[in-house]
Amino acid sequence: MSSFISSYAGKTVVAVGAHPDDVEIGMGGTVARLSEVGANVIMVIVAVPDRLDERLSESAAAASLLGAKLVALEPERCIRVEDLRMHELVRRLDAVMRAHAPAALFTHSSDETHYDHVLVHRGVLSAMRLLRSDLYFYAPSACRPAIRSWQPRVWIDVSSTVDRKMSAIAAHHSQFGRRGICIDHFCEDMRLRGLPVGMAYAEGFDVHCARDA
């Protein structure tokens, strides 16, 4: 959907993930495409649970590969999302919304099995009260292949940016390479997502609200 991408050219787009690597896995190809048309893409990390400096460094490298800027809500300490009371999480997300006034906001789906991802989903929904943004949810994610019933309502062709997405995921060496976890299934997920709609590789999103969706 080139019209989808071009509609955010020159505008600010915020993508929120619970942890380092979540945005890259969920929508790295779309982030790269948005940055190519001049969108100001902000990748937000809510919490870094361990190895703070290393994982923030990996995240900065990944964001650079995708042409995005990185914001960590808790850059000074290791923390889990569930360590934050919901009002604290919403307050931090409110600050992001006020600072960037995004035209579009992307985050986790409600259909996640990871509780931290569900908490972030709820926090983003609450932060939406501050101003009007298009809101999209990327597919549930996991380090290893998993059976999911989730289906998108919007497909984005990422055939031209699939390599950049895979490089951004690989930048999180502490989570994948060091642990011996193969990342090839992320590429296969994009290939299978694109098959029904005639795209070589695609990322899918559910739509909560969008002016032109």
Question: Could you read off the pLDDT of 181-190 as tens digits, one per residue?
Answer: 899 999 999 9
pTM to 2 decimal places: 0.93
Q: Which two tokens stand for residue 13?
A: 């787009």
Average of per-residue pLDDT values in the chain: 92
Q: Which pLDDT does position 75 carry in this prediction?
A: 94
How is the chain split among helix, strand and coil, in percent rounded to 5?
40, 20, 40
pLDDT at 9 exceeding the cut of 90: yes
**29, 161 contact by CB (below 8 A):** yes
Q: Please count the other Cβ atoms lying within 10 Å of the Cβ belonging to residue 142.
A: 13
Q: What are the two backbone dihedrals, phi and then psi, of residue 137, each rounded to the nearest 5 degrees?
A: -115, 125
Q: Which pLDDT does position 212 carry in this prediction?
A: 53
